[in-house]
Amino acid sequence: MRVVVDFDLCESNAVCMGIVPEVFEVRDDDFLYVLQEEPAEELRPKIEEAVRRCPKQAISIEG
Amino acid sequence: MEAVAVVGASLAGLHAARALRIEGFAGRIVVVDADRHDPYDRPPLSKQFLAGTWDRDRLTLAPVREELDLDWRLGRRATALDAGRRSVTLDDGEVLAVDGVVVATGTAARRLPGTDGIAGVHVVRTLDDAVALRADLDAGARRVVVVGAGFIGAEVAATCRGLGVDVTMVEALATPFERVLGPAVGSVLADVHRDHGVDLRAGVGVAGIDGAGRVEQVRLSDGAVVEADVVVVGIGVVPATDWLEGSGLTVDDGIVVDETLLAAPGVVAAGDIARWPSARYGEALRVEHWDMAIAMGEAAARRLLVPSHGSPAVFDHLPWFWSDQYDRKIQLAGRAGADHAVEVVVGSVEERRFVALYGRDGRVDGVLGMNRPRHVMQLRALADERVAWDEGLARARALG
């Protein structure tokens, strides 16, 4: 599983960070950082929730 | 259960349909919406789409492109529901006889009385609304009057200023956002708009809109007259419950549902239209937020599948919303209001980059951020858990 963020769409609402802080982090510069691009499989349900809840539909999962 | 009708194909309805599939429901799902367009996301209508930076394709909601095996009835209006028989009647006479119904017809924009038939007077709720407003702007409108400085009005004002259009914003309250965010934060937002050249007229109402077929001027309650090529009305919404008369559901400023989103056996409601008893706040809530619509749609779908998929779950999702105006992003987790204590805990109002806590009854009720998305997410637990006010202040300041 690979987490992909379209940074042209992302506007740093930080919803993903609220759901999976292990993977997504919005820092003080207001930009989103993906902490793990290939996270453990057990995080998949939470990442899928982050995909659904992203206000800009900027996150996708490959594989 | 073999067939479900989802009435209303915006955020709540579509996410309900998707959740039904995710939970393994393999039966028929009929999705009805009076809007003829492929379901679209509404927040960009007042921002990127209105500004012309996003095209229509980019608005299409993700579930539309997924293989959810939905039986679409777009451009078809539901005219009646019989909750007891679980049947939905459409405007062309088709009757959907189903086992479960998701009611998600949302809300409709309130209009100014007496403005029907005056060209150039707009609301922004649907894609067609936004296309019509955009067309007036493209045709050379130079003076826009925004009636109502709520979130839609304020976002439209910001977008219009970005397009170089003159904007006058008329607000009945003495301070914009006073009722929802309190006077302190409301006045910060008012200043943001003034600094971007908005002529803000607060504490006045609209006495009338004049024009020969097309709007020419707006008369205000203080006697002032503002010339206008376009008027955008953002004075709130009303639940789209007209079609539910005689349905057997309880309608009281929305559809009254129980704490599991059930409106009647086999009938759930979600999104802007649903009023549910919030255990968190000890009162019935009807919330019009984007994030809440998704959460409610998903929860309502799961509720419909009880008992084949588990037992009823109490719905009590923490409200959260965002609004983008110019280069400022306002986010609120929990709730705020004019009667809450307000304390800035991170950053400062002067730099317009801060976090404020809202408190009531000795507890944290809301976490508001302006250009502080990280902090809002990190501090939302204070509102979620409604921690004691002093403890909340200490925890927030330690983070800043």
pLDDT tens sequence across B30-71: 999 999 999 999 999 999 999 999 999 999 999 999 999 999
Q: What is the phi-psi region of residue B181: left when phi exceeds 0, alpha when psi lies from -120 to 50, beta otherwise?
A: alpha
Using a CB cutoff of 8 Å and minimum separation of 24, what contacts does A42-46 make?
A44/A1, A46/A19, A46/A20
Q: A14: distance to nearest CA of chain B, Å?
A: 6
Contacts of B176 (CB under 8 A, 6+ apart): B149, B154, B169, B186, B189, B190, B193, B200, B202
Say yes or no to pLDDT of B400 above 80: no
Spatial distance between the Cα atoms of B20 and B43, rounded to a whole number of angstroms: 25
pLDDT tens readout for residues B350-389: 999 999 999 999 999 999 999 999 999 999 999 999 999 9
Spatial distance between the Cα atoms of A60 and A3, rounded to a whole number of angstroms: 6
Please report the number of interchain residue pairs, chain A to chain B, with beta-carbon separation below 8 angstroms.
41
Spatial distance between the Cα atoms of B189 and B155, rounded to a whole number of angstroms: 11
Give how far Cα B387 sits from Cα of B19, B70, B182, B381, B390, Å: 32, 43, 21, 8, 8
Domain holding A18, by residue range, is 2-62
- Of residues B96, B173, B162, the one with CA closest to residue B328: B162
Q: How confident is the model at residue B117 (pLDDT cuts 50, 70, 90)?
A: confident
The ipTM estimated for the assembled molecules is 0.90
Q: Is B132 on the interface with A (CB under 8 A)?
A: no
To the nearest 10 degrees (0 to 180), the angle between helices B290-304 and B11-22 is 40
Strand, coil or helix: B13: helix
- Test B371 with A17 for CB contact under 8 angstroms: no
Spatial distance between the Cα atoms of A24 and A5, rounded to a whole number of angstroms: 10
Tokens representing residue B328 in the block: 């400022």
Residue B117 φ then ψ, to 5°: 85, -5
Q: How confident is the model at residue B308 (pLDDT cuts 50, 70, 90)?
A: confident
Q: Answer whether B229's CB lies under 8 Å from B143's CB.
A: yes
Query: Would you state the pLDDT for residue B309?
Result: 78
Nearest to B374 among A11, A28, A55 (CB): A28
Q: Provide the 10 A C-beta neighbour count for residue B293.
A: 27
Give the helix/strand (H/E) hosting B368.
Answer: strand B363-370
Q: Number of structural domains, chain A?
A: 1
Question: b/e string for B60-70 if b means 16 or more Cβ within 10 A?
Answer: ebbbeeeeeeb
Mutate to test the interface with A, among B40, B351, B377 (most CBs of A within 10 A): B377
Strand partners, B143: B166
Chain B, 271-310: which have a CB under 8 Å from a chain A CB? Answer: 290-291, 294, 298
Q: How confident is the model at residue B162 (pLDDT cuts 50, 70, 90)?
A: very high
pTM above 0.90, yes or no: yes
- Of residues B269, B272, B275, the one with CA closest to residue B288: B272
Contacts of B69 (CB under 8 A, 6+ apart): B21, B29
- Test B371 with A30 for CB contact under 8 angstroms: yes
Q: What is the mean pLDDT of chain B?
A: 97
Nearest to A30 among B62, B373, B380 (CB): B373
Query: Would you state the pLDDT for residue B122?
Result: 98
Spatial distance between the Cα atoms of B300 and B13, rounded to a whole number of angstroms: 9
Question: Could you tell me the CATH number of the domain that includes residue A14?
Answer: 3.30.70.20
Give how far Cα B274 sits from Cα of B102, B181, B183, B290, B332, Å: 11, 23, 29, 14, 21
Q: Residues B154-172: what's their mean pLDDT?
A: 98
Q: Residues B67-90: what's their mean pLDDT?
A: 98
Nearest to B377 among A11, A14, A52 (CB): A14
Query: Would you state the pLDDT for residue B80?
Result: 98
Nearest to B322 among A13, A18, A52 (CB): A13
Give the residue with greater pLDDT, B114 vs B246: B246
pLDDT tens readout for residues A9-41: 999 999 999 999 999 999 988 899 999 999 999
Q: How confident is the model at residue B193 (pLDDT cuts 50, 70, 90)?
A: very high
Q: B63: distance to nearest CA of chain A, Å?
A: 9
Torsion sign over Cα B212, B216, B220, B225? negative
- Test A18 with B377 for CB contact under 8 angstroms: yes
% of chain B beyond a pLDDT of 90: 97
> Which amino acid type is present at position B332?
L
Query: Would you state the pLDDT for residue B335?
Result: 96
